[in-house]
């Protein structure tokens, strides 16, 4: 499917926003402005953006601990995200969630999730709602290669097949779950095969190439929207950094890290669209410039923002003791 | 005697017991780290570094990295324990027991009783507890009341490195499932710890500070907080006794009751939502068995009935903090 110039610009805009946002997160984390942990999405931009490109605000996604990229791909506001990650008032969850719990229901973003394997069952429920209410919308469950070993994920896949709901299981295989390689932890080696064994179609897509992901997702959407039940994608990608910002990564060689960086989805996208004369390099440069300003503004705003009001501690509960 | 950190003390206990007993194995996520990767294996030693060097010494047959599959980790530990091994399973953050609670409370906890006393289940589940790490709602809980209410589980909450070692060795030599809760904010705290092995029996609390005016009972990471507040109060002439029960099941009721008999006043410090907390539990025990000793109502300092918030200002207020502990003590002291 040929994308329009505007659509291509939007895809690059989102991928570059993720890149700039996560690089800023890395920097602000090191500067002590981000409490807790930060798991960044650097290197996986084409995956989230390719998957979410044709989704509307009414389509749902359930995310993971590595959720910033999914949020941006689904259209969440970067200032609201930065405020949230820094634990400030005005954050997308009022500062009560943090990096691992960003959610924006108005964008169909059902939350990052700090429990590995937490999202797929929830995404099945969200898909059930779509089927029940005949909305024609789909629900996407993001998981990693590590999460593909969690029982909740198996149960969710099987139930999605049994209930024939429009759920798309997206497995972002970046080769690692924390500090353990997928080649060690994923018995049988193929996540796509696992999904197939539950009785849904599954394909493997090159997560470095936005177009490959987008096309595979197109087939998944067609399948789900036609009422044929769930679909799975195993997206092969690279994790540029460690598991979290600051991970010393002695378990990866320098060569491997270099190889990961060489598989960068952003230059590949630029190359493809400029060589095909779909977009000019200058147009892409202009997008980058605007985004850097936006991310700078988000970071400055978040650093300067006040913390949440102490009164919010006991807000949104039904009982106090 | 050398000072050692809480982290090192646990490592010491595991290492020396693994040397002594070949049936002890460790399993969990990244307990070695680097399996299948291009670089070094064993460099992680569990995410808080507690198991550093164990893979190097004991190798992959005894320090076993698992997939991310908590139900299978804990269930496999239970099955291995039932059939002759002594597994130490790691659940990185206690919050993740939500994924595998069946294997803990319906399976491991029940074998001995349900099978008419024929079964032994010598296993340990190590998990980190506690807020204050800016880790958000799903990586900051404590859950000790949940385990404490399950018959068949022993629940250990070391508050310092000395106890951490002695309680771990006790757990490794026992025959029942033990939930061993490590306070993630205490890993770097140090006290004097002997090099040789020693056991601290379960159900024997400790008077961490002697005092005559009021008793503070605190659990796990709240013990150092209670001690710090006691020092502040001492400057105002309030002499607080601090009791550290060390294990919540079995619970040393006598040490608590003896202390309250002496002081007549009790404040509980428990990092848990208030309902069905250890604070509520101990208050009920003292109201029942120690009623005559009491000169004032019992007060509890707990968390609010909410999930753990992320923003540091909210999280600090969420936890039983020095200000709230001090206020509770002063309120109880004023009562007559
Ligand atoms: C139930 C549960 N177990 C373990 C963890 C700790 N943990 C957080 S992320 C992670 C690795 C996940 O790997 P993967 O699914 O491949 O995602 P990636 O980090 O590569 O994006 C682990 C083990 C957790 N958060 N939840
Ligand atoms: Mg992964």
B149 and B244 fall within a common domain = no
3-state SS, residue B218: strand
CATH number, domain of B318, equals 3.40.50.920
- The phi, psi pair for B271, rounded to 5°, reads -85, 85
Q: What is the pTM of this model?
A: 0.98
If asked whether residues B177 and B105 sit together in one domain, one would say yes
pLDDT tens per residue across span B169-179: 999 999 999 99
Whether residue B144 is found in the same domain as residue B286: no
Pocket test for ligand 1, best of A64, A65, A241 (most atoms within 8 A of CB): A65
- Rounded to an integer, the average pLDDT of A99-104 is 98
Q: What is the mean pLDDT of residues B302-310?
A: 98
Is the preceding omega at residue A15 within 30 degrees of 0, hence cis? no
Same structural domain, B112 and B213: no
| Same domain assignment for residues B37 and B149 | yes
Domain boundary among B161, B192, B223: B192
Shortest alpha-carbon distance between residue B166 and chain A (Å): 30
Q: Compute the average pLDDT of residues A192-221.
A: 98
- ∠B89-B98-B37 over CA atoms, to 5°? 50
Q: Average pLDDT of chain B?
A: 98
| CB distance B245 to B260 below 8 Å | no
Question: So what's the pLDDT on residue A316?
Answer: 96
- Whether residue B176 is found in the same domain as residue B41: yes
Residues with CB under 6 A from ligand 1: A 64-66, 114-117, 143-147, 174, 176-178, 239, 243; B 29, 68, 70, 92, 96, 99
The answer to whether A114 faces chain B, any CB pair under 8 Å, is yes
Which domains, ranges and CATH numbers included, belong to chain A?
5-304 (3.40.50.970)
Domain membership of residue B265 (yes or no) is yes
Do residues A18 and A287 lie in contact, with contact meaning Cβ atoms separated by under 8 Å? no
B201 occurs within a structural domain: no
Question: Any CB–CB contact under 8 A between A308 and chain B?
Answer: yes
Average of per-residue pLDDT across A188-207: 98
Show the tokens assigned to A214.
């987008």
Taking an 8 Å cut-off on Cβ atoms, the answer to whether A179 and B30 are in contact is yes
Which three-class secondary structure state does DSSP give residue B59?
coil
Short-list B84, B57, B66, CA closest to B28: B66
B178 lies in the same domain as B227: no
Candidates B7, B126, B139, B165; catalytic one: B139
Question: For residue B71, which residues of chain A lie inside 8 Å, CB to CB?
Answer: 151
CB contact under 8 A, A180 and B30: yes
Question: Quick check: is B144 catalytic?
Answer: no
- Residue B327's alpha-carbon distances to A180, B230, B283, B323, in angstroms, are 47, 12, 18, 6
In angstroms, the first-to-last Cα distance of chain A is 58
Phi first, then psi: give them for residue B23, nearest 5 degrees.
-80, -10
Chain B hits for A115, Cβ within 8 Å: 95-96, 98-99, 138
Cβ(B234)–Cβ(B208) below 8 Å: no
Q: Which of B68, B92, B104, B126 to mutate to test the pocket of ligand 1 (most atoms within 8 A of CB)?
A: B68
Picking from B192, B216, B247, the residue at the C-terminal end of a domain is B192
B167 pLDDT above the threshold of 80: yes
B308's tokens: 């753990």
**Do B64 and B182 reside in the same domain of the chain?**
yes
Where among B165, B192, B219 does a domain terminate? B192
Give yes or no for residue B258 having a pLDDT over 80.
Answer: yes
pLDDT for the residue A1: 60
Count of structural domains within chain B: 2
Residue A145 has pLDDT above 70, yes or no: yes
One domain for residues B187 and B223: no
Distances (CA, A) of B256 to A216, B150, B217, B295: 64, 22, 7, 15
Structural domain includes residue B175: yes
Instruction: Looking at the structure, tell me whether residues B148 and B235 fall in a common domain.
Output: no
**Is B160 among the domain residues?**
yes
Shared domain check, B184 and B235 = no
Give me the domain span that covers residue B61: 3-192
Do B105 and B134 reside in the same domain of the chain?
A: yes
Q: Are B308 and A100 in contact (CB under 8 A)?
A: no
- For the stretch B118-157, pLDDT in tens is 999 999 999 999 999 999 999 999 999 999 999 999 999 9
CB atoms A100 and B29 under 8 Å: no
Strand order in the sheet with A202-206: A60-62, A139-144, A167-173, A231-236, A202-206
**Cα distance between residue A68 and residue B179, in whole Å:** 34
Instruction: Write the CATH number for B168.
Output: 3.40.50.970
Interface confidence, given as ipTM, is 0.97
Are A180 and B135 in contact (CB < 8 Å)? no
Say if the Cβ atoms of A183 and B306 lie within 8 Å: no
At residue B336, the pLDDT reads 78
pLDDT, tens digit, for every residue of B69-113?
999 999 999 999 999 999 999 999 999 999 999 999 999 999 999
% of chain B with per-residue pLDDT over 90: 99
* pLDDT beyond 90 at A305: yes
């Amino acid at each position: 499917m040929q994308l329009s110039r505007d659509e291509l610009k939007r895809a690059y805009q989102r991928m570059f926003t993720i890149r700039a946002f996560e690089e800023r997160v890395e920097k602000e984390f090191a500067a002590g402005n981000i409490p807790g942990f930060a798991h960044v999405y650097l290197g996986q931009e084409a995956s989230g953006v390719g998957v979410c490109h044709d989704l509307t605000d009414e389509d749902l996604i359930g995310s993971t601990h590595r959720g910033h990229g999914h949020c941006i791909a689904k259209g969440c506001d970067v200032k609201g995200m930065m405020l949230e990650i820094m634990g400030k008032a005005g954050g997308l969850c009022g500062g009560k969630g943090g990096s691992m719990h960003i959610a924006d229901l108005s964008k169909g973003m059902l939350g990052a999730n700090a429990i590995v394997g937490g999202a797929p069952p929830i995404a099945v429920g969200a898909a059930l709602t779509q089927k029940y209410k005949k909305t024609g919308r789909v629900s996407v469950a993001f998981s990693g290669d590590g999460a593909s070993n969690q029982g909740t994920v198996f149960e969710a896949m099987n139930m999605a097949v049994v209930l024939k709901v429009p759920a798309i299981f997206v497995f972002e295989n970046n080769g690692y779950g924390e500090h353990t390689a997928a080649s060690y932890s994923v018995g049988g080696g193929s996540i796509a095969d696992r999904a197939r064994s539950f009785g849904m179609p599954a394909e493997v897509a090159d997560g470095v190439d936005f177009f490959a992901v987008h096309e595979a997702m197109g087939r998944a959407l067609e399948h789900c929207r036609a009422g044929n039940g769930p679909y799975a994608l195993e997206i092969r990608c690279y994790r540029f950094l460690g598991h979290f910002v600051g991970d010393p990564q002695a378990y990866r060689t320098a060569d491997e890290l270099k190889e990961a960086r060489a598989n960068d989805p952003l230059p590949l996208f630029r190359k493809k669209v400029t060589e095909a004369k779909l977009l000019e390099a200058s147009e892409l440069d202009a997008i980058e410039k605007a985004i850097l300003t936006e991310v700078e503004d988000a970071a400055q705003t978040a650093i300067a923002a006040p913390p949440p009001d102490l009164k919010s501690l006991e807000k949104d509960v039904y009982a106090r003791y | 005697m050398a000072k050692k950190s809480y982290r090192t003390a646990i490592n010491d206990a595991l290492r020396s017991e693994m040397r002594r007993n070949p049936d002890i194995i460790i399993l969990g996520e990244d307990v070695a780290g680097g399996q299948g990767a291009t670089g070094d294996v064993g460099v992680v030693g569990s995410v808080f570094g507690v198991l550093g060097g164990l893979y190097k010494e004991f190798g992959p047959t005894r320090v076993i990295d698992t997939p991310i599959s908590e139900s299978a980790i804990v269930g496999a530990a239970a099955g291995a324990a039932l059939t002759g091994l002594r597994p130490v399973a790691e659940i990185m953050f206690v919050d993740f027991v939500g994924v595998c609670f069946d294997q803990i409370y319906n399976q491991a906890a029940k074998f001995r009783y349900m099978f008419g006393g024929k079964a032994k289940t010598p296993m340990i589940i190590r998990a980190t507890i506690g807020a204050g790490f800016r880790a958000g709602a799903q990586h900051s809980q404590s859950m000790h009341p949940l385990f404490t209410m399950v018959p068949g589980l022993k629940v250990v909450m070391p508050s310092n490195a000395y106890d951490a070692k002695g309680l771990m060795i006790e757990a490794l030599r026992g025959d029942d499932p033990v939930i061993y809760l490590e306070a993630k904010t205490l890993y770097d705290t140090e006290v004097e710890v002997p090099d040789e092995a020693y056991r601290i029996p379960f159900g024997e609390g400790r008077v961490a500070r002697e005092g005559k005016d009021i008793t503070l009972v605190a659990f796990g990471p709240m013990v150092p907080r209670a001690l710090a507040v006691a020092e502040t109060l001492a400057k105002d002439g309030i002499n607080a006794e601090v009791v550290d029960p060390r294990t919540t099941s079995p619970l040393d009721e006598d040490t608590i009751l003896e202390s309250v008999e002496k002081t007549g006043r009790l404040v509980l410090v428990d990092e848990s939502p208030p309902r069905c907390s250890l604070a509520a539990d101990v208050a009920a025990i003292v109201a029942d068995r120690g009623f005559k000793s009491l000169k004032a109502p019992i007060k509890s300092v707990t968390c609010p009935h909410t999930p753990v918030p992320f923003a540091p200002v909210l999280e600090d207020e969420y936890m039983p903090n020095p200000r709230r502990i001090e206020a509770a003590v002063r309120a109880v002291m004023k009562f007559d």
